[in-house]
Amino acid sequence: MLRRDFLKGIAVMPFGNAVGQGFVNPLVSTFSAGGTVITKLGIFIYNGVPGVGNLIESITGAAGTDSYGNAYLAGNTYYAHDGFGTFIQEIAGLIVLGNSTYPTGARGAASLNLQPNGSLLIAVGGTGGVIQLGQDGFVSITNEEVWYPPSGDTTGVTDVTNINAILAGGGAILHLTQGNYYINAPIVIPGSQTRLTGDFWWSAVDSDNYSAGAGNTGGALITMVPAFAGSAAIEMVNTTNNQYYGVDISGITIEGNEVPSGTIYGILVDGAWGACFLRGVCIHRPPADCIRFITDPTSGKIPDDWIIQDCKFSASRNGYGFYASELADSTISNCESSENDLDGWYINYGVQSRWEGCKGENNGRNGFHCTGLDADQVQWFIGCSTHINNLDGFLFDNAGPSGGGQATYMLSACVAQEDGTGGAAISAGFKSLGCNSRVMGIGCVTAFSGTTPHYGAYEGTASFGMCHTGSSLFGATAATFDDGSNTHALVNQSPVPF
């Protein structure tokens, strides 16, 4: 594979343009008739239809010895330098890597594959790296960065195989370009320091386009095909006692609409994954939860210390938008969970985690559902909002797998608008229902449609206590309600809405 520093100073032209037009590079030594540019470093730019005699030309036309002491043949033999003292030689469809080694050990053979979209894929055995030459963009392969365009294989076999091969090599930044990557099995994040990034994402489905016209998911789009088999489009499973860390996933859309049914998630995070990033990711219409964080049943370890921002978790057909069981010490900001079958946000445990500027809208149950903290723990919701959820805006109870102790939920400048649209007997913007923790609201607001929600804030079923300060609580029935069974009566220090 080519190292990144070997690409410095090499201009890259889009495929399909005439080679040499506006292209000046002192490192170029050969222009082949087939449209291949060869540099003195052995780096090439391919510009043509793959075919015999039009792949990778020799570094020079004559036999000789390169700067690393490797002898090479004369004529139209195919070579490319890998930057580590080895050249690649193509013989009868088999790419043989030369007599040198990477610092990590011996090199192996590689395979040559013509992709459905007309690009050439060279998969380097034993390293997980690839060299891809396509007709519509330049893909640079290094031991640090890989640009991989979609293959066009709608069976889902090619892209998931190639993506997993790249990621399994370790240490590479995998870039997905705009287009549709079909997968029939999970993309597997193998461990620490893995980065998967796309150009961008978008999602605008019929029910949330605000009369602007029907839209669809797109960008760097990962589509699960109808025959998809596995737990999730992206699978992060760690059954060990050791924490994996430094994973960064960004700029992609995951589309699950073609999968007919099953317990299949958009992203599954299982076990000790810490210090990870999820940024600019859209997950749309999987059969089960859009994203699911869980404690690993083997190790008992939990996900920890995540930064999640600018994401959309949308339209899970039979599950939650965001399901987090014991996601600790994390920050989730500027994210939306909407139109899911169950809760938009299902949050159990999650000590010291905070939600900032997040929204739960038009979900089948609650906007935010907080199901229990351990004693003396704290969780924050800052500037978060709900809108037209079937049940409650913010629900706090002890229904989660971790139960609940006497902890604290802190809400600041949160807004619940017109929740309770599903006809629940008692709906509220903010509800504490048998919750052992105190719920503290500062500067919070509820708004009602005229019929829902019934209450701005509700406390019942032997809750510990809820207090709102400087808030404006509206409800179709009353601003607040306390059923009298609670340890501390609901306190509204702004009794008159304004």
pLDDT at 115: 42
pLDDT at 171: 64
pLDDT at 103: 23
Whole-number average pLDDT of the chain:
75
CA neighbor of 383 nearest in space, from 328, 334, 314, 331: 334
pLDDT at 448: 87
pLDDT at 78: 37
Question: CA 177, CA 198: separation in Å to the nearest integer?
Answer: 6
Q: Give Cβ neighbours of residue 244 (< 8 Å, ≥ 6 apart).
A: 191, 192, 236, 238, 272, 273, 274
pLDDT at 151: 86
Question: Does the pLDDT at position 162 exceed 80?
Answer: yes
Q: What is the mean pLDDT of residues 345-361?
A: 96
Please compute, for residue 60, the number of CA atoms within 13 A of its CA located in the half-sphere on the CB side. 10
Identify the weakest region by mean pLDDT among 93-107, 297-311, 374-388: 93-107
pLDDT at 262: 93
Contact 421, 448 (CB under 8 A): no
pLDDT at 426: 94
Question: Does the pLDDT at position 17 exceed 80?
Answer: no
Q: What is the Cα gyration radius of the chain?
A: 28
pLDDT in tens, 248-304: 999 999 999 999 999 999 999 999 999 999 999 999 999 999 999 999 999 999 999
Question: Does the pLDDT at position 383 exceed 90?
Answer: yes
Question: Does the pLDDT at position 353 exceed 90?
Answer: yes
For the chain, the 3-state helix, strand and coil shares in percent, each to the nearest 5, are 5, 40, 55
Q: Which amino acid belongs to residue 396?
A: F
Question: Does the pLDDT at position 384 exceed 80?
Answer: yes
Q: Which pTM was predicted?
A: 0.76
Phi, psi for residue 238 in degrees, rounded to 5: -125, 105
Question: Does the pLDDT at position 30 exceed 90?
Answer: no
Q: What percent of the chain has pLDDT over 90?
A: 56
Higher local confidence (pLDDT), 114 or 226: 226
Total Cβ atoms within 10 A of residue 131: 25
Identify the weakest region by mean pLDDT among 7-11, 123-127, 275-279, 400-404: 7-11
Which regions of 239-325 does DSSP assign to beta strands (E)?
244-245, 248-255, 265-271, 273-284, 291-294, 304-309, 312-314, 322-325
Question: Does the pLDDT at position 156 exceed 90?
Answer: yes
pLDDT at 496: 56
pLDDT in tens, 406-452: 999 999 999 999 999 998 889 999 999 999 999 999 999 999 888 89
Looking at residue 163, the DSSP 8-state letter turns out to be H
Q: What is the mean pLDDT of residues 322-349?
A: 96
- The tokens 């605008």 sit on which residue? 204
pLDDT at 469: 94
Question: CA 110, CA 78: separation in Å to the nearest integer?
Answer: 14
pLDDT in tens, 75-90: 433 344 333 333 333 3
pLDDT at 100: 24
CA neighbor of 474 nearest in space, from 421, 419, 437, 432: 419
| Confidence category of residue 319, pLDDT binned at 50, 70, 90 | very high
Q: What percent of the chain has pLDDT over 70?
A: 66
| Confidence category of residue 202, pLDDT binned at 50, 70, 90 | low
| Confidence category of residue 211, pLDDT binned at 50, 70, 90 | very low
Question: CA 411, CA 446: separation in Å to the nearest integer?
Answer: 13
